[in-house]
């Protein structure tokens, strides 16, 4: 395994620090990107104001399809956020080393998407002004209350899992960022929590990271399981399934894995970190993706083959619609283009190189987005009793521009959070990278002090 | 679930005073009665006609007619409390005789009229059921089933929709946050949502919210059939039941084991009606235990004529 890294060979602490902090100082291409994201967010805000004024009637949702793009995007966001737990917690805890340069990236993705997932739910509410009712009149029986509880808990623990491994990097940042604006330095001072690199501080940090990493595993499993229960707890055809929990969780790992591959590509190229995020890491992520997608494929087969074999009367129209009806094109594109083909392609070593990896990951993530759409919408179009005596539009659904704008605002918002984090802090942990290069904590302390004088 | 009820004393006083006034007496001068009278007197011009009223001290007084205003019904708070408790000792049931329904849709119109609904919003919806094959289609009025194990109230995060002691499932649109989980959970598609400003919203702006009528309707909240809980409270049958010209609806109290036909006003033994006619409930396999019973769709129209045609447009479902 270690020979895979041989192209990196030995790096001095000096190179590591300057390589990893350079992207924070260098603003090339930063402004247009931020302007682009802000533009999308402003457009989405404008759309949301229209929605607040006129009610949810500006969406394509009606009495039958009463959950639409917002809820399916909500599942997608929660799904993407789950990768933080898999990479930095599960793989970290079992001692897998190659995740060092991508663990912070995974955490940033988790934070950005988890935070906006909470906001999407608010966009979907008919009466966002009454959000406090959930705390005033909350009922423990409702899966929504469970969902709000675990999503918020996940955000908090994810913040910890992002901040804790960041603390030992702060001394390096304080040294190298002397020329940066004071507000930035204030943030670094605040986040150092008095860390100066004493051995007992390192020991404490490692312990805390470990505890947080253990804590986040059940919470992360809970957020996506509970999200699946929002559907599985109803008596609807297509949602009334006992495997929805694991089906969602495994699907989430696929989505988040693809997001990490895309982020790895962007950061390694744009931040010029090719020496740290190498072909070796893409290869490893490719292998991991194959495993995750195979597990997800297994659940997909269970979810569709078994009911499809029986063709119960109530499920028949729903399944026909998916297999050969209005949703068939989307269904098969998502299943084959977004799952089966990527698995087959990633089996080849050549396909696990950065550029093919990126293309495959983009296909997977687009497929993942529409997979959530396919889980949400067709079921609602097939209620137990016929849709009658209502306008034609009640029996169809395609999101309006308002819905797309608000959803795109959420995507841009999550990317904005990731961008800001990547512009404030090194996307690759300095101290862990140095540690793996054989540099001791004493040497790191010395380095910090020397530069200080 | 017990709701907190702090100003109990206060409420009692108000109630007794209200009862006193209700018993054939008219409410009088604002200065005497204080806050009990709703509205401002300065807004009325003297009409010259006087009327005798009984004051609170027992003296008969005469006041100008224009000074009189009917006492505002119960306060919103009181309506909320009563609305959540339900009517003690009752277990409301509805029996729908499918052999009688001729798609007159008077029930739908009466319901929409009472509940501030547009023509495309249904608390009760008369569905055209087509079981396929050689059997003729039939019409099936579908109100909320007021399930005894309601999937909708379970999922509500804020207790905005709830089950009462008299068997009704109501919705409090002062509390509903509009998450629409109950709509997803209801297998009977009995719930609707106010996607936009409700019909005649400005007309109802100042109307006190009555949870038993769910009026005024509010944008961004869920609405549904209430078995006309407001009418049940004054011993009347629901809007849909009495509006039906064809004798489709029977309504009554399971505890009394009696149901009354809304058209013929005939009262019969509830259990016997069910048994003699082989009544059924919708989708019993879901375990929701509906309080709405259906008498089978015998005597079907043949050939089936719908909107002047014997051919049916195929539904997608």
Largest Cα separation within chain B, whole Å, is 76
- Residue by residue, DSSP assigns A103-140 as HHHHHHHHHHHHHHHHHHHHHH-S-GGGTTHHHHS--T
Neighbours of A156 (CB within 10 A): 13
The C-alpha atoms of residue B162 and residue B146 are separated, in whole angstroms, by 10
Q: Is the pLDDT of residue A139 over 50?
A: yes
pLDDT at position B9 is 44
> A15 vs A37, A41, A420, A433, B307, CA distance in Å?
32, 37, 24, 11, 82
- Show which of residues 347-386 on chain A sit within 8 Å of chain B, judged by CB atoms: 380, 382-386
Q: Is the pLDDT of residue A3 over 50?
A: no
Mean pLDDT of A336-345: 96
In A164-243, alpha helices (H) = 170-176, 182-192, 199-232
pLDDT at position B65 is 73
Chain A residue nearest residue B127, CA to CA? A388
The domain limits of chain B are 8-67, 77-295
pLDDT at position A47 is 97
Angle between helices A354-381 and A199-232 (to 10 degrees): 40
| B192 to A126: CB separation less than 8 angstroms, yes or no | no
The C-alpha atoms of residue A116 and residue A254 are separated, in whole angstroms, by 19
Please tell me which of the candidates A67, A127, A386 has its beta carbon nearest to residue B317: A386
The C-alpha atoms of residue A53 and residue B196 are separated, in whole angstroms, by 9
Give the pLDDT band (50/70/90) at residue A7.
very low
The C-alpha atoms of residue A433 and residue A21 are separated, in whole angstroms, by 13
Q: Which residue has the higher pLDDT, A9 or A409?
A: A409
The answer to whether the CB of B123 falls within 8 A of the CB of B145 is: no
The gap between the terminal CA atoms of chain B, to the nearest Å, is 39
The C-alpha atoms of residue B76 and residue B213 are separated, in whole angstroms, by 12
Residue of B123, B124, B177, B285 for testing the chain A interface, max A β-carbons within 10 Å: B177
- The CATH number of the structural domain formed by B77-295 is 3.30.70.20
The C-alpha atoms of residue B94 and residue B253 are separated, in whole angstroms, by 9
Mean pLDDT of A375-386: 93
Chain B residue nearest residue A234, CA to CA? B185
The C-alpha atoms of residue A276 and residue A101 are separated, in whole angstroms, by 7
Q: Is the pLDDT of residue A451 over 60?
A: no
Mean pLDDT of A395-411: 96
Chain B residue nearest residue A70, CA to CA? B179
- pLDDT tens for each residue of A208-260: 999 999 999 999 999 999 999 999 999 999 999 999 999 999 999 999 999 99
- pLDDT tens for each residue of B10-51: 444 444 444 544 444 444 433 344 433 444 444 445 667 777
The C-alpha atoms of residue B161 and residue A167 are separated, in whole angstroms, by 48
**From the first residue on, what is the mean pLDDT of each consecutive set of 10 residues in chain B (317 residues)?**
44 47 42 40 59 74 71 73 91 96 94 94 93 82 97 95 96 95 96 95 90 94 96 95 96 96 96 96 95 91 72 56
Q: Is the pLDDT of residue A414 over 80?
A: yes
Residues 6+ apart with CB under 8 A from B202: none
Please tell me which of the candidates A61, A125, A389 has its beta carbon nearest to residue B122: A389
Q: What are the tokens at B195?
A: 């996607």
Neighbours of A108 (CB within 10 A): 25
What average pLDDT does chain A have?
Answer: 91
Residue of A126, A318, A383, A390 for testing the chain B interface, max B β-carbons within 10 Å: A126
DSSP 3-state of A316: helix
Q: Is the pLDDT of residue A281 over 90?
A: yes
Q: What are the tokens at B265?
A: 């006003």
pLDDT at position A84 is 82
Vertex A403, ends A415 and B218: CA angle to 5°? 125
The C-alpha atoms of residue B137 and residue B149 are separated, in whole angstroms, by 30
Residues 6+ apart with CB under 8 A from B87: B164, B165, B166, B232, B233
Q: Which DSSP category does B74 fall into? A: S
| B180 to A126: CB separation less than 8 angstroms, yes or no | yes
Which regions of B121-266 does DSSP assign to beta strands (E)? 125-129, 138-142, 161-163, 169-171, 191-193, 222-224, 249-253, 258-261
Report the run of H or E that residue B96 belongs to, with start and end: strand B92-97
Q: How many CA atoms lie within 13 A of A409 on its CB side?
A: 19
Please tell me which of the candidates B157, B180, B286 has its beta carbon nearest to residue A66: B180
Instruction: Name the nearest CA neighbour of B243 among B87, B124, B119.
Output: B124
Q: How many CA atoms lie within 13 A of A168 on its CB side?
A: 26
pLDDT at position B150 is 96
Chain A residue nearest residue B153, CA to CA? A142
The residues facing B267 across adjacent strands are B260
The C-alpha atoms of residue A116 and residue A95 are separated, in whole angstroms, by 31
Phi-psi region of B288 (alpha: psi -120 to 50; beta: other; left: phi over 0): alpha
| B195 to A133: CB separation less than 8 angstroms, yes or no | no
Is some CB atom of chain B closer than 8 A to the CB atom of A236? Answer: yes
Residues 6+ apart with CB under 8 A from A367: A333, A334, A337, A338, A339
The C-alpha atoms of residue B108 and residue B111 are separated, in whole angstroms, by 5
The answer to whether the CB of A430 falls within 8 A of the CB of A172 is: yes
Please tell me which of the candidates A56, A128, A387 has its beta carbon nearest to residue B317: A387
The C-alpha atoms of residue A133 and residue A172 are separated, in whole angstroms, by 46
Gyration radius from chain A CA atoms: 23
Q: Which residues of A touch B122 (CB under 8 A)?
A: 389-390
Q: Which DSSP category does B70 fall into? A: P
A with B: how many residue pairs have Cβ under 8 Å apart? 150
pLDDT at position B136 is 83
Going by DSSP bridges, is the β-strand pair B92-97/B125-129 parallel, antiparallel, or unpaired? unpaired
Residues 6+ apart with CB under 8 A from A387: A64, A394, A395, B189, B315, B316, B317
The C-alpha atoms of residue A110 and residue A116 are separated, in whole angstroms, by 10
Please tell me which of the candidates B154, B188, B220 has its beta carbon nearest to residue A55: B220
pLDDT at position B13 is 46
Q: What own/partner pairs with CB < 8 Å and gap ≥ 24 does B41-46 have?
A: B41/B67
pLDDT at position B75 is 77
Q: Which residues of A touch B120 (CB under 8 A)?
A: 389-391, 394
The C-alpha atoms of residue B86 and residue B163 are separated, in whole angstroms, by 9
The C-alpha atoms of residue B93 and residue A366 are separated, in whole angstroms, by 50
Is some CB atom of chain B closer than 8 A to the CB atom of A387? Answer: yes
Cis ω before A287 (30° cut-off from 0):
no
Q: Which residues of B touch A314 (CB under 8 A)?
A: none
In B55-105, alpha helices (H) = 76-85
- pLDDT tens for each residue of A311-334: 998 899 999 999 999 999 999 999
Q: Which residues of B touch A133 (CB under 8 A)?
A: 158, 160, 175, 177
The C-alpha atoms of residue A89 and residue A216 are separated, in whole angstroms, by 7
Query: What is A2-452's CATH number, 1.10.510.10, 1.10.10.60, 1.50.10.10, 1.20.1630.10?
Result: 1.20.1630.10
Q: Which residues of B touch A126 (CB under 8 A)?
A: 176-180, 193-194, 219-222
By residue count, chain A amounts to 453
Which regions of A19-134 does DSSP assign to beta strands (E)? none
Please tell me which of the candidates B184, B188, B193 has its beta carbon nearest to residue A234: B184
Please tell me which of the candidates A125, A234, A391 has its beta carbon nearest to residue B179: A125
pLDDT at position B33 is 41
Q: Which residues of B touch A144 (CB under 8 A)?
A: 155, 157, 179, 181
> A308 vs A229, A302, A315, A320, CA distance in Å?
22, 10, 8, 9
pLDDT at position A27 is 72
The C-alpha atoms of residue A122 and residue A113 are separated, in whole angstroms, by 15
């Amino acid at each position: 395994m270690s020979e895979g890294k041989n192209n990196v060979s030995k790096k001095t602490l000096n190179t590591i620090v300057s390589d990893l902090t350079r992207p924070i100082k260098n603003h090339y291409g930063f402004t247009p990107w931020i302007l682009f994201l802000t533009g999308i967010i402003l457009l989405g805000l404008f759309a949301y104001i229209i929605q607040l004024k006129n009610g949810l009637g500006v969406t394509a949702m009606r009495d039958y399809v009463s959950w639409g793009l917002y809820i399916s995007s909500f599942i997608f966001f929660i799904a993407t956020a789950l990768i933080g737990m898999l990479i930095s917690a599960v793989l970290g805890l079992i001692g897998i080393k190659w995740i060092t340069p991508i663990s912070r990236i995974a955490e940033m993705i988790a934070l950005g998407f988890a935070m906006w997932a909470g906001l999407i739910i608010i966009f979907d509410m008919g009466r966002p002004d009454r959000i406090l009712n959930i705390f005033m009149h909350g009922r423990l029986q409702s899966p929504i209350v469970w969902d709000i509880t675990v999503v918020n808990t996940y955000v908090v623990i994810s913040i910890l899992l992002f901040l804790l491994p960041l603390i030992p990097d702060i001394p390096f940042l304080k040294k190298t960022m002397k020329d940066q604006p004071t507000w930035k330095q204030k943030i670094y001072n605040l986040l150092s929590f008095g860390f100066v690199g004493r051995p007992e501080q390192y020991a404490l940090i490692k312990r805390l990271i470990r505890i947080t990493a253990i804590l986040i595993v059940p919470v992360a499993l809970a957020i996506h399981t509970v999200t699946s229960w929002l559907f599985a707890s109803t008596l609807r055809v297509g949602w009334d399934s006992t495997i929805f929990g694991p089906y969602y969780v495994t699907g989430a790992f696929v989505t988040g894995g693809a997001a990490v591959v895309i982020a790895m590509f962007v950061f390694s190229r744009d931040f010029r970190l090719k020496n740290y995020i190498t072909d070796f890491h893409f290869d490893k992520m490719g292998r991991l993706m194959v495993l995750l997608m195979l597990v997800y494929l297994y659940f997909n087969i269970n979810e569709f083959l078994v009911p499809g074999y029986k063709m119960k009367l109530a499920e028949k129209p729903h399944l026909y619609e998916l297999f050969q009806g209005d949703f068939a094109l989307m269904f098969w594109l998502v299943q084959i283009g977004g799952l089966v083909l990527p698995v087959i392609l990633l089996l080849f070593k050549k396909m696990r190189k950065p550029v093919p990896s990126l293309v495959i990951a983009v296909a997977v993530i687009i497929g993942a987005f529409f997979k959530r759409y396919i889980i949400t919408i067709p079921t609602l179009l097939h209620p137990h009793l016929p849709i009658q005596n209502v306008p034609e539009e009640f029996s169809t659904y395609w999101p309006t521009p308002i819905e797309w704008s608000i959803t795109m605002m959420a995507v841009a918002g999550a990317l904005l959070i990731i961008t800001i984090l990547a512009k404030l802090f090194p996307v690759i942990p300095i101290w862990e990278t140095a540690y793996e290069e054989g540099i001791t904590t004493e040497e790191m302390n010395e380095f910090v002090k020397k530069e200080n004088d | 679930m017990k709701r907190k009820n702090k100003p109990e004393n206060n409420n009692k006083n108000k109630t007794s005073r209200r009862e006193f006034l209700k018993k054939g007496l008219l409410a009088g001068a604002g200065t005497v009665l204080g806050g009990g009278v709703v509205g401002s007197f300065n807004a009325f011009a003297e009409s010259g006609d006087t009327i005798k009223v009984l004051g609170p001290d027992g003296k008969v007084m005469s006041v100008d007619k224009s000074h009189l205003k009917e006492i505002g019904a119960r306060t919103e708070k009181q309506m909320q409390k009563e609305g959540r408790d339900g009517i003690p000792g009752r277990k409301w049931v509805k029996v729908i005789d499918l052999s009688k329904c001729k798609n007159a849709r008077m029930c739908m119109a009466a319901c929409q009229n009472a509940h501030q609904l547009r023509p495309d919003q249904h608390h009760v919806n008369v569905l055209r059921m087509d079981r396929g094959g050689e059997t003729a289609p039939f019409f099936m009025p579908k109100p909320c089933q007021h399930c005894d194990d309601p999937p909708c109230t379970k999922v509500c995060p804020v207790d905005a929709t709830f089950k009462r002691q008299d068997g009704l499932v109501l919705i409090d649109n002062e509390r509903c946050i509009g998450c629409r989980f109950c709509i997803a959970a209801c297998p009977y598609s009995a719930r609707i949502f106010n996607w936009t400003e409700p019909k005649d919203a400005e007309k109802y702006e100042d109307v006190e919210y009555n949870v038993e009528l769910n009026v005024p309707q509010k944008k961004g909240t869920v609405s549904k059939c209430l078995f006309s809980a407001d009418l049940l409270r004054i011993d009347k049958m629901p809007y849909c039941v009495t509006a039906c010209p064809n004798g489709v609806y029977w309504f009554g109290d399971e505890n009394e084991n009696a149901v009354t036909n809304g058209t013929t006003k005939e009262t019969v033994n509830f259990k016997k009606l069910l048994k003699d006619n082989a009544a059924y409930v919708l989708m019993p396999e879901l375990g929701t235990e509906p309080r709405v019973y259906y008498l089978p769709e015998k005597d079907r129209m043949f050939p089936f004529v719908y909107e002047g045609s014997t051919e049916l447009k195929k539904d997608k479902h």
